[in-house]
Chain A
Amino acid sequence: MEGGYIFDEKDRHNAFISTLDLALFETTGGPLEGRAVAVKDNISTAGMPTTCASRILEGYVPPYDAHVITLLREAGAAIVGKTNMDEFGMGTTTENSAFGPTTNPVDPTRVPGGSSGGSAAAVASGMVDMALGSDTGGSIRCPAAFCGVVGLKPTFGRVSRYGLIAYSNSLEQIGPLGKTVMDVNTLMSVIAGPDARDSTTYDRPYSHTPDPDMKGLRIAVPKEYFGEGVDPAVAARVQDAIATLEGLGAETVDCSIPSMEYALAAYYVTCTSEASSNLARFDGVRYGPKVETIRSWHDEYRTHRGDLFGREVQRRILLGTFALSAGYYGKYYAKAQVARENVRKDFVRVLRDADVIAGPTMPSIAFRLGEKSDPLSMYLADILTVPANLAGVPAISVPCGTVDKLPVGLQIIGPHFGDERIVDVAFAFEQEVA
């Protein structure tokens, strides 16, 4: 049996790149039967255009579904459209889209955050209850924080990346965004689990009922999450949120993550290196706008990629090519991997003595459109989200109040495969402040 979801919402925030007026769904009796779900445009959907918000993939229609899409369909979801994003997931604002920026539903003069800004805006504006995003260095949690919704980056390996158009394989994970922790929990239960086509997945399905009991929970609070560069007003809101959890019976312990000092550089060296390799496939031969076959390979290829990749994508491919080149490999890539291992060890150490880590998701409230015009200053905004990706641990952002009427996100980070625990903490907080 098939049902149809009529999707006639007005897209005031340019949250979608493509939509379906009538989204068909199977009446499977699954947990998402008949519910509208939006999907980030870097997740392959058979028969629906998938562009990664890039001109280089314009017109591409995947012949297959990503594993998470197969699972959504089996759960009865109505996939209503593909959401806007920073091109190939590269950015913190959703301004780097070939289809124009998404605006923040809370304040349209502001960015929604990135790179899953379209998914967060689709949820925050009420167009859908839930959406899929992908998080390479904070791309689910950042827009969740800026738009005032809930976003979860699962433990690396918990959700299959098969069909996610790769940008940085060792860091990125598909994950849920929703209006409530319960919606995120439901979506996570659908998408998690093993997949023979992604050898980095674990056999750890997610079947969980959030438990708000916080008695005896130990929360580690790293000083680096409240240090230089973090807006004091944002820090104060997050401290209040942690105090709320203490009021529910949790106890806090101070801690330090010394490797944070190198985390951002390690992250950008790693993700640009992986991007330089992954994005070599975009040559206009197998998909996307076609190349002429008259000129020679490199001449055609260079012009094509120079014309159709956006500036940020070009910058990252070049940085990665440089970082991996002979003579610089030891200076950048090899050291970044040592720094990354140190981050992982720091998280394992801190989470041996505590159940979760808490801090702000982003160091500031949402930027104004065009505010971050210098690439390095945009990269620096990711400092609080990238460590979880380097370590592979799960992290969730849940709204915890406002500064200047703009949302602030509380970030809860857990140990590997502690996704259920961080959802519990976010749920307890959400229930308490509701």
Chain B
Amino acid sequence: MVNESDVEGIAKLADISISKEELGAFTSQFNDILEYFDILDQVPPGEEGIPDLENVLREDVVTPSLSQEEATANAGETEDGFIRAPKVM
């Protein structure tokens, strides 16, 4: 079971603001879904991960790619060819 303050904490981790009014409904839906997920406790123990897989790594080779202009074309704000972002600190 999770409570409203747990959901608020998760929302903070996920960088999503949830209004106080919506928090109750979210929490109750969350609990219904998590209760359903509890069925996973009955999964017979098995080996974790998937066997018989191999890496498909390739050489890191430069190929034609987007120009700086194309890559920044959708950005909200640019400066000298760079994307402006909110301050982190």
Contacts and interface: CB of A to CB of B under 8 A. Distances in A.
A297 B18 contact: no
A301 B71 CA distance: 21
B2 A293 contact: no
A199 B55 CA distance: 9
A342 B50 CA distance: 10
Given A306-B18, A317-B16, A322 B40 contact: no
Given A301-B86, A314-B16, A289 B76 contact: yes
A286 B75 contact: yes
A269 B37 contact: yes
Contacts of A295: 86
Contacts, number: 159
Interface string B72-89: 011111000001111111
A91 to B, nearest CB: 14
B54 to A, nearest CB: 11
A318 interface: yes
**Interface size range on A against B:** 35 or more
Interface in A233-291: 261-262, 264-266, 268-269, 276, 280, 283-291
A334 B12 CA distance: 24
Interface stretch (A10-18, A26-34, A56-64, A73-81): A56-64
B36 to A, nearest CB: 6
Interface string A284-312: 11111111111111111111011101010
A431 interface: no
Nearest to B57: A199
Given A309-B16, A321-B14, A375-B29, A292 B86 contact: yes
B10 A325 contact: yes
Given A276-B14, A318-B16, A376 B36 contact: yes
Nearest to B32: A376
A200 B84 CA distance: 33
Interface in A143-188: none
B40 A302 contact: no
Contacts of B2: 322
Given A265-B37, A337-B49, A287 B17 contact: no
Nearest to B51: A341
A409 B40 CA distance: 29
Contacts of A230: none
B85 A297 contact: yes
Interface residues of B, number: 51
Interface of A is mostly: helix
Interface in B18-52: 18-19, 22, 26, 29-30, 32-34, 36-37, 39-50
A427 interface: no
Contact of A296 (B47, B48, B87): B87
Contacts of A60: 74
A319 interface: yes
B15 interface: yes
Contacts of B56: 199-200
Interface in A318-363: 318-319, 321-323, 325, 331-332, 334-339, 341-342, 344
A332 B40 contact: yes
A301 B26 contact: no
B74 A287 contact: yes
Nearest to A300: B86
B70 interface: yes
A80 B17 CA distance: 37
B62 interface: no
Given A285-B83, A338-B48, A269 B40 contact: yes
A278 to B, nearest CB: 12
A146 B68 CA distance: 44
Interface string A361-376: 0000000000000111
16 contacts: A60-B74, A61-B73, A63-B71, A265-B40, A268-B33, A283-B15, A296-B89, A305-B14, A314-B18, A318-B7, A322-B10, A323-B37, A331-B40, A335-B41, A341-B47, A375-B33
Interface of A: 59-61, 63-64, 196, 199-200, 261-262, 264-266, 268-269, 276, 280, 283-303, 305-307, 309, 311, 314-315, 317-319, 321-323, 325, 331-332, 334-339, 341-342, 344, 374-376, 379
The 4 closest A-B pairs by CB, nearest first: A290-B76, A306-B17, A287-B74, A63-B70
